[in-house]
Structure 1
Amino acid sequence: MSLHIFKFGGTSVGSVAAIEAVARIVEHERRAHQLAIVVSAQNGVTDALLRGANRAAEGDGETYQRSAAELRQRHLETARALITDPDEQQAYAASVARLLDEFCTLCHGFQVLGEVTPRALDTIAALGERLNAPLVAAALRARGVPAEAVDAGELIVTDDHYGDASPLMGPTIERTQARLRPLLAAGGIPVITGFLGATPTGTTTTLGRGGSDYSAAIIGAALDADAVVFYKEVDGVMTADPRIVPDARVVQRIAYDEISELAYFGAKVLHPKTIQPLIDKNIPVYFKNTFNPEHPGTLVSPRGAAGGGTIKAVTAIRNLSMLTVAGRGMLGVPGIAARTFTAVARVHASVLMISQASSEQSICFVIPSRHTEAVKRSLEQELQPEIARRDIDGVFVQDDAVIVTVVGAGIRTTPGIAWRIFAALGERNINVHAIALGSSECSICLVVTAADADEAVRAIHPLTYQ
């Protein structure tokens, strides 16, 4: 029997009705597959936990206590609606009390000390999944499904980069196989906490943005699963954000590299690193809707297998700034580019896109706006001799930049694609401030102003029909 890993996000396990929908999917699919389930915290829970911890470090002793009371009530009310056995209810209530007492004890310590360490913050952030996985497992057992909650700290071994830990796949495979294979062989369904892992010595870590999805990919790779299915609240990967483009459609089939580009450039699909363990094992990925499971969703297939030369989707990433280093004295001077990006790296800013004039008289690049001032200062310090000699005119900033990205395998090498994109933008009088074409086989990136971004997406989207 094939093994499928199902990942359910916060909205998919965020209410009584949502968990009942999950249970129906599991009941149906377990007839055809072995299943392992990865679950997020209920929507909004992790934010509430982190807010309480950070406020406590600022001296606020009320927010975390109020959050603990609200979370206790929310989870126990959900449990009462889903769990019929009194002993199960009592056991779950004891688990909730233990976890939230730990939360309050930690927050009291933060309040006394006036600070919270990254290590302690990971312990706090992981509590949402630790509250929810036992609840989902108990709800499944109430329907006769042999489910068992499993803490991912037993499975996923990571480094100690708290807040954004990386898995150590050797020991992770060993522990995951040893813990889950016997449970699966006995017909059980593990319900695994997403988002978290542990160092080799057992200290809790979290996997960063998109961590619960990453957990599912890691578990899928460790078990050599036949498929990983991400259940969300939409029917699949969309051709554009439906809030911007009401007639956006589900992409039926997309390649690994295409979805990586979409995720990197703003589509709320997967964090780019999430897909990597599955690419390495060539494991198929599906996106489906928890609340419309009959829809076929989107299949993510190996590189090149999804067809090429057509536009699959268009997306936008916002809250960016474009910085330009310009000057006639840059022409032919070796090392300017290297020093520019060394200065950017010095302040730990990520560069999302680079464009350089063929005349070598300017370099422009796009970064998250939160880093703009620090990057500008670092550049001016690094290039101060050239600025003083007027070899470089200065470092110029354009705020409110947006990268609009057109994604489709082979579009870079397909004649006429770029012309159609720029013609569509020209018809709407949308000015393009920078272009990155050629660095990826499956994307074309354009910088526009924030005021033009939505209209640019709407202008390009009809090309996905052709």
Structure 2
Amino acid sequence: MQVLKFGGSSLANASAISQVMKIIRTASARDKTIVVASALSGVTDTLIRAGIMAGSGDSGYTTLIDDLQARHITVINELLPSESDPGVRVELSILFDKLRDICRGAFMIGEISPATSDLIAGFGELFSTRILEATCTSTGLSCHWADAREIIRTGPSSSQPVVNTAVTQRNVRELLRNNLSKIILVPGFIASDDQGRTTTLGRGGSDYTASLLAVAAKARMLWIWTDVNGMMTADPRIVPQARTIENISYKEALEISHFGARVVYPPTIQPVVSKGIPIMVKNTFDPEGPGTLIEQDPPEGKEKIRGISGSDRIALLSMEGSGMVGIPGYSSRLFNALAQQQINIILITQASSVHTMLVAIDQADAQKARKAADETFAYEISLQKVEPLKVESGFSIISLIGDDMKNQSGASGRMFEAIGRRNITIRAIAQGSSEKNVSAVVATNDAAEAIRAVHQEFFGSSERCINLFIAGWGNVGKSLTAMIFSQREAWAVREGIRVQICGICNSKRMILNKEGLAPDQIGQTLSSDGELYQNGTFIDKIIEMNLRNSVFADCTADHFIALRYEDIIMAKIAIVTCNKIANTLDMDYYNKLRRQAVRRHVPFLYETNVGAALPVICLIRQMRLSGDTPERVEACLSGTLNYVFSRYDGQTPFHRIVEEASSLGYAEPDPMADLSGKDVMRKTLILARECGMDIEESQVNTASFLPTQWPCEEHFRSLYLESQQKEGTLRYVSTIDNRGVKAGLKVVPREHPFSGLRGTDVSVILYSRLYPNGLRVEGAGAGGRQTASGLINDILQCV
């Protein structure tokens, strides 16, 4: 005998249910099987909401029920042809009619009792198991549907129904004795009291149903099928490198679950724990993948530390006062006050001076706890022996779980140090009396980073490595590699990040080495010894190497490379680029890159597209995230043009100054890209798109200042003299507002900030609701070292 429990995520839709049926078929071929099923994903919450709406006189409950019925009918239609089993459609129609009648009654009297609420909430499991029954029958499986309300009996309780174990076990034995089907389907979550009224088993109720049935049936194992590969060393949504814990003891599993892991809920599995029945947690959508076996005595392993878990929405209650010192009873009075309000204490820590005590509870109970404590200690507060209870919200508990923690030398210190290295403040610490966990309380905003830090300390390499591939060996590429080789040891020490260059290419040759390149290898290899580079082979090789934490740095102005960005992102390789082309192609491609990057959690960073290392793009993003999108942008974006016009005085020929800018590395590979305004147009277009505008290159209005023939000194001298007559300065200015996007040469007044720009400095002024007078970013906007510096900032964000 075995018991299989499927949660709501395993029954989300017809496709998921088809996968469930494969698992049931395989399992039932091995042994007689009891299947316990939850409601379809999200259904119970919707039912509870419908009941509340009906009881409060909101007729909108009918829409919720109609939507639920349509969803279930859709699932049936996708699973079963209409002629195969009309009975299930009739059965569900009857159940939904009953649900409507119950809600209508609550609506008419304008209130809903706890019993009625239970009755409504329990319909979800009836719907799902009837669908499973019909699907089993249609595929030729021998099955029997059993009503959990006729099996599991509960007694009266002021808070949550208490199961009558003796009656329940007798009912299960009778069910098994009188039924020869290989598969017995039982709705989870629901039961009934002595008067036959529907009750529910609370949070984790379906797990509780499965646990009760496993004990009564003397099952050899309880299988919990969910949407993750068992219990993990950490939440994989926070730590992608988290791995499955293959074996764990009951006590360790309960500790991990108590402090945040949602795979099992401790009270609900207590029946099987007490009888020593193993629990196997598996992924419905990866049945052949790893899972977690929870048992009394798991095999000994090298690692005593099992995992890290986190609990959010924690409030801290601080009680302090001089009157507490040496006086017994304060703790018990506080605990009793909280218990009377049915408030669960998650964590306790007390100073050795007994002057202060801190208790962690669910944030939802914070104000109720404050009121209860202040009433309990009203007399002491009036005498100023105890201060009013201090309540702080917005905290999380990070717990390190392992066997015999008190004898794990240095484990606590390593945990706290790992958190401290990330500059995260620990608000409180505690070690459980079970000796299975050490916990730290941190601000919720820091919780994810704290979990990653602790996981890295105990389960990962102590050093994070970036495998960097660089396209382009010109001024920027050479500056970038020189900076990396000179600074990477310092990064490893200060940041715990090691950057190794695993590949680099120029327009003709490439060199790759997954172990990293040495500084003296690159120049000679790219000159003559390297592998020939053609038709995107460099990118193909990078994707083929498939190195962890790969970053592609584009230091070119290559159109073909920009068109390969989607392939790079699809391979989950981060992109850092000063190449503006990808971000100035059509909006479809622009949006596609961002969608793919978000979907695959791949960094796509291009701060250097606009102002070398100046933080312009990240500033606009921060403004937009806070709801303060720039309404107008004025920008002087070309360090090259600013340098040229700042140097030009009508005496030195204009083209000589352009040549000087090129020799200093201030110009694009083709200087005409700067002089024509093409480079500024691209930067302007990128800024406009970052501000949320859906705009194409053709919509940017630009005006050329170049003469029909080059060089033509007379043309530039006349422009200069005109600016002098107007008592201004020549600047190539971009403007972005609700009237459009434009860029061109203009004479700015000498009191304008742009007039004072010197050398290769650029300037961007952002006007918004919060910054009506403008927020200005200014500094060097051209130069290989400046651009390389900006690329490095982006590269180091990719870990």
TM-score by length of 2: 0.56
Change in Cα spacing, 1:181 to 1:15, as seen in structure 2 (3 Å) is farther
Partner residue of 2:527? none
Partner residue of 2:293? 299
Partner residue of 1:112? 108
Q: Does residue 5 in structure 1 map to residue 13 in structure 2?
A: no
What amino acid does structure 2 have at the position aligned with 1:353? Answer: L
Q: Does residue 24 in structure 1 map to residue 22 in structure 2?
A: yes
CA deviation string 1:311-352 (max 9, x = no partner): 111111111111111112211012111212222223221111
Tell me by how many angstroms 1:58 deviates. Answer: 1.3
Partner residue of 1:69? 66
Task: Tell me the SS of whatever aligns to 1:54.
Answer: helix
Identity %: 33
Change in Cα spacing, 1:306 to 1:158, as seen in structure 2 (3 Å) is farther
C-alpha separation between the residues in 2 aligned to 1:304 and 1:364?
35
Gaps (5+ residues) in structure 1?
Answer: none
What amino acid does structure 2 have at the position aligned with 1:92? Answer: V
Partner residue of 1:51? 49
Q: Does residue 147 in structure 1 map to residue 168 in structure 2?
A: no
Q: Does residue 124 in structure 1 map to residue 120 in structure 2?
A: yes
C-alpha separation between the residues in 2 aligned to 1:311 and 1:76?
47
Among candidates 313, 319, 329, match of residue 325 of structure 1: 319
20-29 vs 305-314, greater mean Cα deviation: 305-314
Among candidates 384, 387, 397, match of residue 403 of structure 1: 397
Tell me by how many angstroms 1:39 deviates. Answer: 0.6
C-alpha separation between the residues in 2 aligned to 1:319 and 1:34?
42
Partner residue of 1:259? 253
Determine if contact 1:220/1:228 at 8 Å carries over to the other structure: yes
Among candidates 274, 280, 284, match of residue 286 of structure 1: 280
Tell me by how many angstroms 1:84 deviates. Answer: 4.2
What amino acid does structure 2 have at the position aligned with 1:79? Answer: I
What amino acid does structure 2 have at the position aligned with 1:131? Answer: F
Higher relative contact order (CA 8 A, sep 6+): 1
C-alpha separation between the residues in 1 aligned to 2:55 and 2:101?
13
Q: What are the within-5 Å matches in structure 2 for residues 169-188 of structure 1?
A: 169-183=165-179, 186-188=180-182
C-alpha separation between the residues in 1 aligned to 2:352 and 2:258?
26
C-alpha separation between the residues in 2 aligned to 1:222 and 1:163?
25
Tell me by how many angstroms 1:257 deviates. Answer: 0.6
Partner residue of 1:454? 448
C-alpha separation between the residues in 2 aligned to 1:76 and 1:65?
16
What amino acid does structure 1 have at the position aligned with 2:439? Answer: C
Tell me by how many angstroms 1:251 deviates. Answer: 0.7
What amino acid does structure 2 have at the position aligned with 1:25? Answer: I
Task: Tell me the SS of whatever aligns to 2:29.
Answer: coil
What amino acid does structure 2 have at the position aligned with 1:54? Answer: I
What amino acid does structure 2 have at the position aligned with 1:338? Answer: S
Tell me by how many angstroms 1:304 deviates. Answer: 6.2
CA deviation string 1:226-258 (max 9, x = no partner): 000011111111111111111111111111011
What amino acid does structure 2 have at the position aligned with 1:260? Answer: L
Tell me by how many angstroms 1:64 deviates. Answer: 2.3
C-alpha separation between the residues in 1 aligned to 2:213 and 2:299?
24
Tell me by how many angstroms 1:85 deviates. Answer: 7.2
Q: What are the within-5 Å matches in structure 2 for residues 347-426 of structure 1?
A: 347-426=341-420
What amino acid does structure 2 have at the position aligned with 1:32? Answer: R
Partner residue of 1:136? 132
C-alpha separation between the residues in 2 aligned to 1:437 and 1:163?
30
C-alpha separation between the residues in 1 aligned to 2:301 and 2:373?
42
Determine if contact 1:6/1:231 at 8 Å carries over to the other structure: yes
Which structure has the larger Rg over C-alpha atoms? 2
437-446 vs 362-371, greater mean Cα deviation: 437-446
C-alpha separation between the residues in 1 aligned to 2:49 and 2:342?
25
Determine if contact 2:226/2:263 at 8 Å carries over to the other structure: no
Partner residue of 2:269? 275
Aligned residues: 460
Determine if contact 2:426/2:442 at 8 Å carries over to the other structure: yes
Tell me by how many angstroms 1:102 deviates. Answer: 1.1
What amino acid does structure 2 have at the position aligned with 1:151? Answer: D
Partner residue of 1:83? 80
Partner residue of 2:337? 343
C-alpha separation between the residues in 1 aligned to 2:162 and 2:263?
20
Task: Tell me the SS of whatever aligns to 1:31.
Answer: helix
Determine if contact 1:199/1:205 at 8 Å carries over to the other structure: yes
